[in-house]
Amino acid sequence: MAQLGDHARAKELLHKAARAFGNKEAVARARCVVAEAEIALASRDLSWPVAALDMARTTLEEYGDWVNAAHARHLSIRRLLLFGRIDEAERALADVDSAQLPQALRAVNELVIAGIAMRRLKSKLARAALVRAERAARQARIPALVSEIEGAALLLNAPAARLVASNADRLLKLDEVEALLASKTFVVDACRHAVRYDGEIVPLAKRPVLFALARALAEAWPGDVPRDVLIARVFRLKLADESHRARLRVEMGRLRSKLRPLARINATKQGFALSPNHARRVAVLARPVEEKHAVVLALLTDGESWSSSALALVLGVSQRTVQRSIDELAAASKIHAVGYGRARRWMMPPALGFTTTLLLPGPPAFD
């Protein structure tokens, strides 16, 4: 029933099965909980109680059902990935002995490894894991799993970001993004809202005004940016007075302090200019699409149906904020609803033509 898309009926049947087994059939009841957790993950019911899955996994391990216990662990790890909790996912994955897994679970294990590697921008590791995953899935003869792995592999060859440098604007694949960040280029990372050079990272995710200034200066490099242009772009004001210019000087001083290890900001006759300490090249790494609701679209492009509450949980915003985004996207016919009332879900076909890796919740290192 779950594979046919009737998740509600599948959950009902599982509840009946769990009650029928009774308290003396601990393993069977635990397997029902794991199955329900799998349905909850597929239906993006992220409010489902994770503690129940942990208890079921512990029960299965105590009774020697290592295969289903490993399956439960992988479900927990995949849920962590949805929330961008990469470090926790890696620690949980380290406890899995992949050599003892059947082919189907080995494919899932490699798929998780690839997902973590893609979030870490390690394209070679991701590609190798997907090759192993596809081999295991074909040996397991599970077409749906093979299809999921092939879909993940396509993301490695799709545009992941946009490079803006020296009046150039082009799309980059994931391996090209990795190469750019490993190079001696001064990068203003608009995907993770940070400034990077030679392994050093200055996070600006919590300082949106400073980041907007840094990006404007980087896009104009090696030239300068007039003060009125900065005020209009960063403060979103058409007309500037002396108070706005004073605020610009204050914010520019704060940005100078933040970027001092990597670059200087020089005042010019017209405005301000960026001057890297060592880098000979400056680039802006932008998202492949920068529309207002791009992050919501990024989650929906996985092909699954999402509730507004699940989207809010993953993005860490209020449900009302997500609902406003959904309403605008639906009005523009970019997404469509499935179901009614509390069962209402939102989805879209995965046809944007770019990988969502850099739009999704990212590793803590960028915060």
Same domain, 224 and 273: yes
Last residue of a domain, one of 105, 140, 155: 155
Residue 30 lies in a domain: yes
DSSP 363: -
Tell me the C-alpha distance between 68 and 60, whole Å.
Answer: 7
18 near 35, Cβ under 8 Å?
no
Predicted pLDDT at 365: 46
In a shared domain, residues 119 and 177: no
Structural domain that includes position 202: 161-286
pLDDT bin (cut points 50, 70, 90) of residue 265 is very high
| Number of compact structural domains in the chain | 3
Domain boundary among 155, 172, 195: 155
The pLDDT of residue 301 is 72
Residues 218 and 268 in one domain: yes
- Position 228 in a domain: yes
Which helix H or strand E contains 312, and what residues bound it?
helix 308-315
Answer yes or no: do 279 and 318 share one domain: no
**pTM for this one?**
0.77
Long-range Cβ contacts of 57-62 (<8 Å, 24+ apart): 57/30, 59/26, 59/27, 59/29, 59/30, 60/27, 60/30, 60/31, 60/34
Q: What is the pLDDT of residue 9?
A: 84
Higher pLDDT, 305 or 349: 305
> 40 and 122 in one domain?
yes
Of the two residues 297 and 131, the one the predictor is more confident about is 131
Verify that 171 and 244 share a domain, yes or no: yes
Query: CA 56, CA 299: separation in Å to the nearest integer?
Result: 28
**pLDDT higher than 50, residue 312:** yes
Q: Are residues 216 and 301 in the same domain?
A: no
Residue 258 in any domain: the answer is yes
Nearest-5° angle of CA 245, CA 251, CA 254? 145
Contact 188/214 with Cβ under 8 angstroms? Answer: yes
- Residue 349 above 70 pLDDT? no
Asked whether residue 278 falls in the same domain as residue 316, the answer is: no
Residue 89 shares a structural domain with residue 68: yes
Is 240 in contact with 226 (CB distance < 8 Å)? no
- Percent of the chain at pLDDT > 90 equals 39
Q: Has residue 331 got a pLDDT over 70?
A: yes
State mean pLDDT over 54-79. Answer: 92
- Asked if 70 and 129 sit in the same domain, the reply is yes
Q: What is the dihedral of CA 268, 270, 276, 280, to 10 degrees?
A: -110
Q: Considering 111, 127, 155, which residue would you say is the last residue of a domain?
A: 155
3-state secondary structure of 281: coil
Residue-level pLDDT at 211: 93
Q: Which residues contact 11 (CB under 8 A, 6 or more apart)?
A: 36, 39
Task: Using pLDDT thresholds of 50, 70 and 90, give the confidence band for residue 239.
Answer: low
Overall average pLDDT of the 148-168 stretch:
82
Nearest-angstrom CA–CA distance, 72 and 55:
10
The end-to-end CA distance of the chain, in Å, is 41
State mean pLDDT over 24-34.
90
Residues 69, 41: one domain? Answer: yes
Q: State whether the Cα torsion 357-359-362-367 is positive or negative.
A: positive
163-209 confidence digits (pLDDT tens): 987 667 888 888 999 999 999 999 999 888 999 998 899 999 889 99
Diameter over CA atoms, the chain? 82
CATH code for the domain of 339: 1.10.10.10
358: pLDDT strictly greater than 60: no
Question: According to the model, what pLDDT value does residue 352 have?
Answer: 44
129 contacts 156 by C-beta, under 8 angstroms: no
Tell me the mean pLDDT in the region 29-41. 89
- Check whether residue 255 and residue 196 sit in a common domain: yes
